[in-house]
Amino acid sequence: VLVSEVHRRVLLEYVRPLMQVRMVCTSAKMRARVATRLGEEARQLRELFTRLVRPTRHPGATP
């Protein structure tokens, strides 16, 4: 339930505003920079939610 709420908040606070803005890239270089930035942010979000879903093993815990 907590992960679902975090996912919803990310959608509201990050993704929705991103989708509502029309990005105008005036050059190929700018498009490449925007694509790189969006790709990096997507990777970070994917890592975050992967860590939230998978339980972490604590030192000394039995498998």
Tens-digit pLDDT profile for residues 2-54: 888 888 888 888 888 888 888 899 999 999 999 999 999 999 989 988 888 88
Domain assignment present for 63:
no
Tell whether the torsion through CA atoms of 41, 14, 16 and 53 is positive or negative.
positive
The pLDDT, as a whole number, for residue 57 is 65
> Which residue bears the tokens 């959608």?
11
pLDDT at residue 62 greater than cutoff 70: no
Q: What is the domain extent for residue 46?
A: 24-54
How many domains does one find in the chain?
1
Domain assignment present for 39:
yes
C-alpha span between 30 and 20 (Å, rounded): 19
Domain assignment present for 40:
yes
Domain assignment present for 3:
no
The pLDDT, as a whole number, for residue 30 is 96
The pLDDT, as a whole number, for residue 33 is 96
